Structure 1
Amino acid sequence: MGSATRKRTRSQTWAILSSQAAEASQPSQAAEEQNTVVKSKTKAKRQRTTRAVLNSQSAEPSQQQLEELLQHEVIREKRSKQINDRHKGKEAHLVPNNGEGEHADNDAEGSATPYFSTRMGPKTMFKFVQKLTPEQKQSVRDIGFGALLNLQLCTSDSQLVQYLLDNFELYQTHFKLENDKLTVEEEDIKYTLGIPRGEKVVVEGPKYDEQGRPKYRALLQSWRTRWNIKIGSPITTKMGDVIVKRGDYGDEFKRGFMVLTVSCMMRGFQTRRCNHKILNSLVNVDEIKEYNWCNYTYNSLIKSIKKYKKKSNGFFTDR
């Protein structure tokens, strides 16, 4: 199947998913009739969001598009706060954001659908890549992650995300559609994010840092010195501004970029701290593009869904 055909098929399928999510979120026929206008606007926005994801690798966004997305982000945050205040005191099966993670966007204001909470999300990365210098952007391209520089999605849709989780068959790895199914494969990660899919296997450091190989322990110690910490790792949401402010674009920049990317887009922690254990696969930055980051992301996604389905009252992560 050609790239253009595949893109149209994906776009159409996600449009169907968005449509079904909107229908599934309505409690009754009467409520559906009362919210016709809201559903129409919500569906249109979801379709625009889907196209933004699928097309983010094909063309760098214009300045006008970036301004529109950032303006939408400001509006979304104000709306999220209003809805969050409205639902305070109501029992919900998803934990609050606590100011450090990322809430998915809830389009239908006043909806009873609880927030989908996660420490991960596109907002932090979206803002981060806009601030990079030309030299830093070139370094990102050099390690094979240039597609993320064109990221156009800075929000997520709460109802759609929850719908997808509810309709995902874990062991067959597909989404249940009304009369069909959509199988999720490693190839889809490559198609959507455009990240490297090399031969090397991404391996994180062990649970206890002192049990890691010598090169990992040495790198971790120097990395922590650079971040002025003795143990643990920096706060994920604060890393981007520090990296940009430093202005360098060598090996340390590349490692910082990868740690932030992994923590935001691939495999984050339940805490607000970044995933420093990925440094085990960042000892030699020249080999970053030789790793299979698609497989790493795919496996992390499946593990996260499995854990979430067992206990859906926490952040969406397998750590």
Structure 2
Amino acid sequence: MGKKTLGNGNAAKRRGLRSSLGLGDGAKVSEVTGAKVPEVTGTSHTDEHIGEQDRRSDPGVSEGTNVGKMIVIREVPKVMKRVRDASLNQTLLSMKKKKISSVPQENTLNPFRTNCCGKRLCELNEAFTSEQKKAVTEIGFGSLLHLKITRTNNALSAWLVDRFDGGSGMFKVGYGKEFKVNQYDVYDVFQFPMVEGQDVLDVSRGPNADNPHFDLKASWREYFKVDREKGQIGLSAVYSELKKLVDGGEVFKKLYVLFAFSSFLAPVTNNTLDLRLVLAVHEVQKIPHYNWCKYILGRLMYANVLFKNSMWSNGTK
């Protein structure tokens, strides 16, 4: 009893610094020697006085001779404190500019990134007029108007990609817990048109001279005033154009489907408009009569396999 354990040994329980030294409540204790320091009243602590009283730096004075004598503790002048604080602040500011962090960062050769940006699509939907929202609903994509996405969680996205097998369509949640993803699961999430036997066809990526649908791609490039042969249409330009088409209409419907897929449902890597779908949106009345759920799943599986193959080839898996 009366003892407490410190580390691996036992030490007598301390009753406090003042009581163990036998000092009264009114006494002061030297921060250096622990000796009792009498109260000093009416004494001016000038540099001259301090030089006369403070003999701790004198090598001829032992610790024992300091007991009972006045010991004046020299305080750091406020000017020096300000200099020190300014120096510290300057150091912190320099570290901030160089983006130096004390938290160790994971050294990943190929960190997971995605251009899937539902936030941008949500912001666009919120800016739509009633006519524009009606046009989106008419082509079967009205569920996108109810999206509420504020950010993209890359950590969660990486986990989902890792757990999904694009070759078989199997999604493994945990040990012994896996299921096969199919087009009906996509329908349950988005409620997009899912017409059996009406597959969405991509435009061929062959040379322009041999591409039967080259003119469809070229017409969109001309619309946005980029090079007719190989011009890239930035998603920011499409975003602005969609906001201008306040009355809806056929061009708006086509562009909305292209933008929704290029930015969110099946995003491309360079933030440009994916012109592979120009054939599917060419006849507006046919848009709600395709199997969009099957198409989305197919693009997802293909992208998953492509990503993992690139990871293996880069030696990061």
TM-score band w.r.t. shorter chain: 0.5 to 0.7
Q: Which aligned segments of 4 or more residues in structure 1 are displaced greater than 6 angstroms?
A: 87-90
Structure 2 CA distance for partners of 1:200 and 1:154, relative to 1, 3 Å: farther
Unpaired runs of 5+ in structure 2?
1-96
Determine the C-alpha separation between the residues in 1 that align with 2:260 and 2:311.
Answer: 25
Deviations 1:76-109, CA, capped at 9 Å, x for gaps: xxxxxx9x98699964233xxxxxxxxxxxxxxx
User: Quick check: 2:114–2:154 contact (8 Å CA) kept in 1?
Assistant: no
Q: Is 1:242 matched up with 2:241?
A: yes
Structure 1 range deviating more: 231-240 or 259-268: 231-240
Determine the C-alpha separation between the residues in 1 that align with 2:186 and 2:243.
Answer: 27
Match of 1:181 among 171, 178, 183: 178
Q: Is 1:120 matched up with 2:116?
A: yes
Determine the C-alpha separation between the residues in 2 that align with 1:88 and 1:270.
Answer: 29
Larger relative CO (CA 8 A, sep 6+): 1 or 2?
1
User: Quick check: 1:148–1:193 contact (8 Å CA) kept in 2?
Assistant: yes
Deviations 1:274-311, CA, capped at 9 Å, x for gaps: 10121011221100011111111100000111011112
Aligned residue in 2 for 1:138? 134
Q: Is 1:269 matched up with 2:268?
A: yes
Q: State the superposition RMSD in angstroms.
A: 2.7
Which one-letter code corresponds to 2:134 in the other structure? Q
Which one-letter code corresponds to 1:279 in the other structure? V
Which one-letter code corresponds to 1:169 in the other structure? D
Deviations 1:32-77, CA, capped at 9 Å, x for gaps: xxxxxxxxxxxxxxxxxxxxxxxxxxxxxxxxxxxxxxxxxxxxxx
1:208-287 counterparts in 2 under 5 A? 208-213=207-212, 216-231=213-228, 232-287=231-286
1:225 deviates by 2.2
| Aligned partner of residue 311 in structure 2, secondary structure | coil
The TM-score with structure 1 as length reference comes to: 0.59
Deviations 1:253-294, CA, capped at 9 Å, x for gaps: 111101101102233322221101210112211000111111
Match of 2:203 among 205, 210, 213: 205
1:12-161 counterparts in 2 under 5 A? 91-94=107-110, 114=111, 116-161=112-157
Match of 1:167 among 163, 174, 180: 163
Aligned residue in 2 for 1:303? 302
Which one-letter code corresponds to 1:141 in the other structure? T
Determine the C-alpha separation between the residues in 1 that align with 2:209 and 2:293.
Answer: 28
User: Quick check: 2:242–2:255 contact (8 Å CA) kept in 1?
Assistant: yes
- Max Rg structure: 2
The TM-score with structure 2 as length reference comes to: 0.60
Structure 2 CA distance for partners of 1:291 and 1:301, relative to 1, 3 Å: same
Structure 2 CA distance for partners of 1:183 and 1:85, relative to 1, 3 Å: farther
Determine the C-alpha separation between the residues in 2 that align with 1:229 and 1:294.
Answer: 31
1:230 deviates by 2.2
| Aligned partner of residue 286 in structure 1, secondary structure | helix
User: Quick check: 1:175–1:183 contact (8 Å CA) kept in 2?
Assistant: yes
Structure 2 CA distance for partners of 1:123 and 1:211, relative to 1, 3 Å: farther
Structure 2 CA distance for partners of 1:217 and 1:187, relative to 1, 3 Å: same
Determine the C-alpha separation between the residues in 2 that align with 1:290 and 1:239.
Answer: 24
Match of 1:193 among 185, 190, 197: 190
Structure 1 range deviating more: 186-195 or 233-242: 233-242
* Same amino acid, percent of matched pairs: 22
| Aligned partner of residue 167 in structure 2, secondary structure | coil
Which one-letter code corresponds to 2:260 in the other structure? T
User: Quick check: 1:124–1:237 contact (8 Å CA) kept in 2?
Assistant: no
Deviations 1:230-273, CA, capped at 9 Å, x for gaps: 23331124421221024241111111101101102233322221
1:150 deviates by 0.7
1:313 deviates by 9.1
Which one-letter code corresponds to 1:150 in the other structure? H
Determine the C-alpha separation between the residues in 2 that align with 1:88 and 1:127.
Answer: 35
1:134 deviates by 0.8
User: Quick check: 1:233–1:275 contact (8 Å CA) kept in 2?
Assistant: no
Structure 2 CA distance for partners of 1:220 and 1:158, relative to 1, 3 Å: closer
Determine the C-alpha separation between the residues in 2 that align with 1:148 and 1:133.
Answer: 15
As a proportion of its length, which structure holds more helix?
A: 1
Unpaired runs of 5+ in structure 1?
1-81, 95-113, 315-319
1:140 deviates by 0.6
